[in-house]
Amino acid sequence: MSSLPNASQLDKSGRRIVVDPVTRIEGHMRCEVNVDASNVITNAVSTGTMWRGLEVILKGRDPRDAWAFVERICGVCTGTHALTSVRAVEDALDIRIPYNAHLIRNLMDKTLQVHDHIVHFYHLHALDWVNPVNALKADPKATSALQQAVSPAHAKSSPGYFRDVQTRLKKFVESGQLGLFSNGYWDNPAYKLPPEADLMAVAHYLEALDLQKDIVKIHTIFGGKNPHPNYMVGGVACAINLDDVGAAGAPVNMTSLNFVLERIHEAREFTRNVYLPDVLAVAGIYKDWLYGGGLAAHNLLSYGTFTKVPYDKSSDLLPAGAIVGGNWDEVLPVDVRDPEEIQEFVSHSWYSYADETKGLHPWDGVTEPKFELGPNTKGSRTHIQEIDEAHKYSWIKAPRWRGHAMEVGPLARYIIAYASGREYVKEQVDRSLAAFNQSTGLNLGLKQFLPSTLGRTLARALECELAVDSMLDDWQALVGNIKAGDRATANVEKWDPSTWPKEAKGVGINEAPRGALGHWIRIKDGKIENYQAIVPTTWNGTPRDHLGNIGAYEAALLNTRMERPDEPVEILRTLHSFDPCLACSTHVMSPDGQELTRVKVR
Amino acid sequence: MTAPNILILGIGNLLWADEGFGVRCVELLNERYRFPDGVRLMDGGTQGIYLVQHVQQADCLIVFDAVDYGLAPGTLKIVRDDEVPRFMGAKRMSLHQTGFQDVLALAAFSGAYPRELLLIGVQPEELEDFGGSLREPVRAQLEPALRVALEFLAERGVVAAARDGDAERLAPAPLALGRYEAGRPAEELAYRHGDIRFIPQQPLEDD
């Protein structure tokens, strides 16, 4: 394992390539890299243009309302933020939720995870590996044979089915009026799949579209509606009445619970017969593309998730912990309340602290903007051609765990769970690596394969399997508990602010699809006094700190060889493997600032 | 005639001032009217491709949104059918709209695309005011925008009836227009602006 470079060791001498967004959604990102004469990335700079408005918009509001606001922060992470917010308020006010609410929140959270992972792979990430234009050349009969070999249990595998998909694709590409596939680099040699694999993947792109619309209906049942399901401090916003037979809007009854069970089974079948085989097939063909590990080979962090026994974090299916320096033999405990553990630094961020060599724990966090560019910036304040990363260069703060930059997300959760000896996870990971080695004739070890872009993408698929499998357990437990006579879904003893202490502080944590998420709240006189969130993209997209520690996005891009530097297929592939919480248009600028190519970050 | 399947969708991020126009339009429609079966109102927020199944199911799609047409603030512009994706995908569009163009593209690719599309867009005045609400020229277009939708529906035989009593909300009560505006923290407590790189607030020497 190579050691992790410090920012001061990075080679900035080669050609500079800039990938920057055009539109302005929250969580925007800009990426600059230097490549050497062999087109290998020697320096990477990730700039988040995300203003942290979340914190300030909540000041003075009712803590019980915070979830509704944070659900609107972003279009992808809605329910995750809402859940984390109600947990923060409950923690501050010492509210315990009923068992039914615990199970229903688990079902909703896992639904979001499954939905997000499937949509991410097929609709956002697959086009980094799959070439839809190449699929037009596929032989439907050979595609059918491939499908049956890759996944014998999957029913949609006839030559006629693939011929239909191909015809639809052809029509769509030729019509040209809509740009779904128009921004790709379809003649770039970085694409390696044979046409049949491309066609199979396009078919699954459409199948995933059908699947995702059904699984998300679970949110409608428990959260009243989708998009934007309802959450509630103290429990969940639905009632339960098994004797009820009403339709939409009625309490949860046996009909709706059975509907939920059917959706879980569908998602489980899709994950086993389509998603996982596809990821392994892609990995097998891109077996030589083991770039993108970066920080994953060194430092990983998880707050733990999918708690089985309420309020017992040791029962997390994916446990909390930190790994430092690539030492899988020691998973360190994580305490999100300890002011010495999680701290945010701003020496390279567009904020100011009184002393920028020191970090602040989120409960003591301040969000004072200070936009200034370094002396080596090229361009102007509003049109930056090249950023000066030796100075402040990002709107993202730099969170650190005991001073270390950490990778978060499915791969971090999976390595930590594996290192913690979780049997379910070990079986999944060992099985997948064996399948990969068998299909490729390689003999890679876990530490060679997992910390990579492919490993990150595989971990996400395995986590999807774990989530759907354990949803069956949650469902059984919920039905059992209701049948035993427990109908409680909310604890409203402390709903009235007159029951609250004058001042309180709390923290809500969760593992969002893209990684560790924390909301830290201070409440005073019944109102929000301070609210700080550290979102997964803050961890992974962090700028450097005053000691030169580099973050996950920057580290993951290093040493990657690009086929064509003007076409950032490889950059997008690795950045997308983190499932960044943004969906933006980007363009590539040449060193003189002229726009070369416009790409779309999917 | 069977009831047409119509989706009335408000999109945008209500936390970003005029970006909330679309969501506020459906909020108002929902407060005031009951629609026959087959007509659905939805606060789509910034859900992007997660809205695709709703678009696929609709025979007719009406979208309210803030769209940067490059016109005077508060100008209402109506776009129909095949023109809609083009107007939702141009470079200078508002925050999430690239996402909605993708939604339409995905629906088209899947073979389930609305027969009729109506985009009721308003030219925003201010987007870079986090936690803010509609500016006056945009707010003034709420009623005209609703009239456009109601007339469009009436032409198709769909009549909205005045609602008596409270509607089931499309969005949680804390986000309702009045409460959202009243609970806003003062500017000295909460910096309201976005990314300074894109919003020069005063002339800068080096530009």
Across the range A502-518, mean pLDDT stands at 95
Identify all chain B residues contacting A59, using CB atoms and an 8 Å cutoff.
185, 189-190
Residue with token string 């969501």: B23
Per the CB < 8 Å rule, is A51 touching B193?
A: yes
**Could you tell me if residue B77 is inside a domain?**
yes
pLDDT of the residue at A52: 52
The whole-angstrom separation of Cα A546 and Cα B176 is 43
Contact call for residues A570 and A551 (beta carbons, < 8 A): no
pTM: 0.91
Across the range A267-286, mean pLDDT stands at 97
pLDDT tier at A248, thresholds 50, 70, 90:
low
Per the CB < 8 Å rule, is B50 touching A227?
A: yes
Containing A16, the helix (H) or strand (E) segment is strand A15-21
Task: Out of A75, A178, A230, name the one closest to residue B105 (CB).
Answer: A178
Kindly state the DSSP code that residue B116 receives in the 8-state scheme.
E
Residue A595 predicted with pLDDT over 50: no
Residue A584 predicted with pLDDT over 70: no
Across the range B59-68, mean pLDDT stands at 92
**Could you tell me if residue B18 is inside a domain?**
yes
CA B20 to chain centre: 7
Across the range B38-56, mean pLDDT stands at 88
As a whole number of angstroms, the longest Cα–Cα distance in chain A is 72
Q: State how far residue A72 is from chain B, nearest Cα, in angstroms.
A: 7
Q: What is the mean pLDDT of chain A?
A: 89
Per the CB < 8 Å rule, is A57 touching B15?
A: yes
Containing A595, the helix (H) or strand (E) segment is strand A595-600
Q: Assign residue B39 the CATH number of its domain.
A: 3.40.50.1450
**Could you tell me if residue B22 is inside a domain?**
yes
**Where is average pLDDT lowest: A61-70, A176-185, A435-444, A572-581?**
A176-185
**Where is average pLDDT lowest: A289-293, A389-393, B15-19?**
B15-19
**Could you tell me if residue B167 is inside a domain?**
yes
**Could you tell me if residue B207 is inside a domain?**
no
In degrees and rounded to multiples of 5, residue A300 shows phi and psi of -135, 145
Identify all chain A residues contacting B105, using CB atoms and an 8 Å cutoff.
178-180
Number of domains chain B contains:
1
Contact call for residues A429 and A450 (beta carbons, < 8 A): yes
Q: What whole-number percentage of chain A has pLDDT above 90?
A: 72
Taking only the tens place, the pLDDT of each residue in A476-489 is 999 999 999 999 99
Per the CB < 8 Å rule, is B15 touching A53?
A: yes
Residue A213 CB-density burial (10 A; 0-12 exposed, 13-18 middle, 19+ buried): middle
Q: State how far residue A57 is from chain B, nearest Cα, in angstroms.
A: 6
Residue A576 CB-density burial (10 A; 0-12 exposed, 13-18 middle, 19+ buried): buried
Q: Which of A49, A52, A56 to mutate to test the interface with B (most CBs of B within 10 A)?
A: A56
pLDDT of the residue at A253: 92
pLDDT tier at A497, thresholds 50, 70, 90:
very high
Q: State how far residue A467 is from chain B, nearest Cα, in angstroms.
A: 20
Q: What is the mean pLDDT of chain B?
A: 82
**Where is average pLDDT lowest: A26-35, A352-361, A494-503?**
A26-35
Per the CB < 8 Å rule, is B175 touching A69?
A: yes
Residue A54 predicted with pLDDT over 70: no
| Domain, as residue range, for B33 | 6-182
Higher pLDDT: B170 or A596? It is B170
**Could you tell me if residue B47 is inside a domain?**
yes
pLDDT of the residue at A217: 93
Closest CA to A123 of A220, A192, A211: A211
Identify all chain B residues contacting A58, using CB atoms and an 8 Å cutoff.
185
**Could you tell me if residue B201 is inside a domain?**
no
The whole-angstrom separation of Cα A115 and Cα A111 is 6
pLDDT tier at B182, thresholds 50, 70, 90:
confident
pLDDT of the residue at B201: 34
**Could you tell me if residue B63 is inside a domain?**
yes
Contact call for residues A411 and A296 (beta carbons, < 8 A): yes
Per the CB < 8 Å rule, is B15 touching A25?
A: no
Residue A439 predicted with pLDDT over 60: yes
Identify all chain B residues contacting A384, using CB atoms and an 8 Å cutoff.
197
The whole-angstrom separation of Cα A135 and Cα A167 is 11
pLDDT of the residue at A129: 95
Checking phi first, is residue A101 left (phi over 0); if not, alpha (psi -120 to 50) or beta?
alpha
Per the CB < 8 Å rule, is A25 touching B46?
A: yes
pLDDT of the residue at A211: 93
Contact call for residues A116 and A409 (beta carbons, < 8 A): no
The whole-angstrom separation of Cα B180 and Cα B27 is 13
Identify all chain B residues contacting A371, using CB atoms and an 8 Å cutoff.
196-197
pLDDT of the residue at A228: 83
**Where is average pLDDT lowest: A170-174, A439-443, A533-537, B182-186?**
B182-186
Task: Out of B15, B85, B99, name the one closest to residue A178 (CB).
Answer: B85
